[in-house]
Amino acid sequence: MIDIADRPEIAPELRLVPHAFRRTFGRPAQGVWYAPGVLNLLGGALKVPAKWGAIVAGDQRDDGRLELVSVNRPTERALLPSDEVPAWAAPVAGMSGGATLMCSVDLPRGSGLSAGEALRTAVALALRDLSNTPFAHDERRIRSPQVDKCAVHRLLVVDTRVRRMEAQVERPYAWDGGDLGAALTAYHRAQDPDPEQDAVVRAAMAAGARGASMLVDPPGRPAVALVDADLVPAVKKAITKAVEVPPRYLTIVPGPFRTEALR
């Protein structure tokens, strides 16, 4: 059987992680698993997947422990269960199972796309397949007709680069499935945003966004705006001008949720 790392029909980004696994451990991975980053809008009432996310590759081990290695931080390994877990592996600290996994997450924690959720999902998929145990995950994705209409618009995710350890309290918000832009703004006004998030929302709305709100993605203080495609450059410019630290931006076209598993 051809090693996954050498199969040309597989996307290059999916081959990269099993290649790193083989280089590190001297053997081929049994499989590779992908889960997208998730944009949690309106307090999680609506979950929008992104093309960026988490990829893990690895194999089963017979001692029941979960070994995790990061492509980006190869010296910061985790062997679970343990009381000492590196920060990058914290999202999976409570998980268990017999596997050795090489992990790659192409989103910074707190940037707005729930990198930790993507990593947990990818690891859970791997453990499910390697141990043949059931795994359930949240399937609340883009299903509302109102959101389907937004495919002609863009969701502009704004990573303010602000990171704070104190928890950000999120007040409950009920969405009736109506206009997403108006709902985002109403949700934001019902919360207690940090100053940086509020500045982003005000600048986006002034530049013509259809709606905007803070996002809860610890430890970050990100925000999101629903923007007509042709206004994205202008809204970015207005936001950058309104804040002290130049943000990082990700632009999302709403699409279907998908995970991948290759063995």
pLDDT by residue for the chain (263 residues), tens digit each? 567 777 777 777 778 899 999 999 999 999 999 998 889 999 988 888 888 899 999 999 999 999 999 998 889 999 999 888 998 999 999 888 899 999 999 888 899 999 999 999 999 999 999 987 655 554 444 444 445 555 568 999 999 999 999 989 899 898 888 899 999 999 999 999 999 999 999 999 999 999 999 999 999 999 999 999 999 999 999 999 999 999 999 998 865 555 556 56
Angle subtended at Cα 226 by Cα 222 and Cα 227, rounded to the nearest 5 degrees: 120
The 3-state DSSP class for residue 228 equals strand
> What single letter denotes the amino acid at residue 207?
A
Beta-bridged to residue 226, according to DSSP, are 155, 211
d(CA 233, CA 26): 46
Number of H helices, E strands in the chain: 6, 10
Domains of the chain are 4-138+256-262 (3.30.230.10), 145-252 (3.30.70.890)
At 62, which amino acid appears? D
- 77 close to 69: Cβ distance less than 8 angstroms: yes
Query: Pick from 194, 212, 222: which is nearest to 153 by CA?
Result: 212
* Tokens 């790193």 sit on residue: 20
- The model's pTM: 0.82
